[in-house]
Amino acid sequence: MKNKSKIALYASSAVNRGGTGVYTSRLIDGFKAAGLSEVVAVGFNASANLFEKFVSEHYTLPRRIKRERYKLLHLPAFGGGIVSGVPYVVTIHDMAFLANPNWFSRIRSFYYRYHFPKVAKGAVAIIADSDFTSTEIKKYLHLDSNRVYLSAPSNYSDDSLFRSAFNISGDYILSTGTIEPRKNIDALLKAWPLVNGKHKKLTLVVVGRWGWGEKATIGLLEKTPGIRWLGSLHGSLLQSAFAGARLLVYPSLYEGFGLPPLESAASGVPFVIGPAETLLEIYGEIAAGISKSSSISIAETVLNALEQKPESEKLRHFAAKFSHRQMAENTYKIYQKALR
């Protein structure tokens, strides 16, 4: 590491199984693949309790970063304490908390609106997941940012692991993501009877943890005929779920990037997307269909996509452009610019 500045990647968010955790884990893998050993993942142990995490974030890690003379700190998910005297880079995944605060609970919305802009304004560089997010950062925070697209690995799994784990037979379409208002899951659930009416043996498999929203949504997820809500899946089980799907449905209204369609493409599985501007930016030319926000539009788009012949290799070729290594190398260029 001679003549190279040590850079600390705050990796505690990697224990989070949501999108930010996936991003952080893949970024770490990308740095390893690129041989960029001067970037060091630091963070608390995944098994740490709340007290240990607090002590680590506010005492142990800052002391380590100063003692080992890191020249730069990266906060990939707004997580981790800012270390006095050490410049930092922050990744902003989206600006939904300012674009539409009604999508969040009052307490969560207040925390996001108070904490995130403060962290962003102190950063020496900001990384955004998409051109759309860069535009939103400029609009709401009046700050410049650097766009780095996210990544997904190639998936050549089969569906046997998933099917045996949940006793699922026959054709199914997939919807993945945290259950929260901006994902537009309610419209999808209302669209489902129209789809199921023409494809009676088809199952809608919903994968994702409950985040927040109307309690009635839980009832629809649990009681609507033809729908299986499986909660949160990860790793090989999630890859197996993608591998067996006829179609991914992702009707989101707002995204910073939107990983599920890329995961779907990496599995050779077609997908339909909602009207979120980021989804149009990244996937508009490769999606099997683009719906409006309404349940009628979602149903029509899904039914049309089910009639199309999958172009698996075209989808895999598209996804291959979004590699972990490419993401890490583009991120590293931003580090180097910030260190000048």
**Alpha carbon distance 265, 314 (integer Å):** 9
CATH class of the domain defined by 160-319: alpha beta
Domain ranges for the chain, please list them: 7-151+323-339, 160-319
Torsion angle in degrees (nearest 10) through CA of 26, 29, 35, 38: 80
* CATH for 7-151+323-339 (1.10.1060.10, 3.30.70.20, 3.40.50.2000, 1.10.10.10): 3.40.50.2000
Output the CA–CA distances (angstroms, integers) from residue 108 to 37, 96, 102, 111, 336, in the order listed. 36, 12, 10, 5, 34
CATH topology match: 7-151+323-339 vs 160-319: yes
User: Do strands 203-207 and 271-273 pair parallel, antiparallel, or not at all (unpaired)?
Assistant: unpaired
pLDDT recorded at residue 1:
41
Instruction: List the chain pLDDT tens, one digit each, 340 residues.
Output: 444 789 999 987 655 667 888 999 999 999 999 999 999 999 866 667 777 777 877 788 889 999 999 999 999 987 667 899 999 999 999 999 999 988 888 887 887 888 888 899 999 999 999 999 999 999 999 999 999 999 999 999 999 999 999 999 999 999 999 999 999 999 999 999 999 999 999 999 999 999 888 889 999 999 999 999 999 998 999 999 999 999 999 999 999 999 999 999 999 999 999 999 999 999 999 999 999 999 999 999 999 999 999 999 999 999 999 999 999 999 999 999 999 8
What's the predicted TM-score (pTM) here? 0.93
The tokens describing 12, both together, are 């505690």
pLDDT recorded at residue 56:
79
φ and ψ at 73, to 5 degrees?
A: -125, 135
pLDDT recorded at residue 113:
83
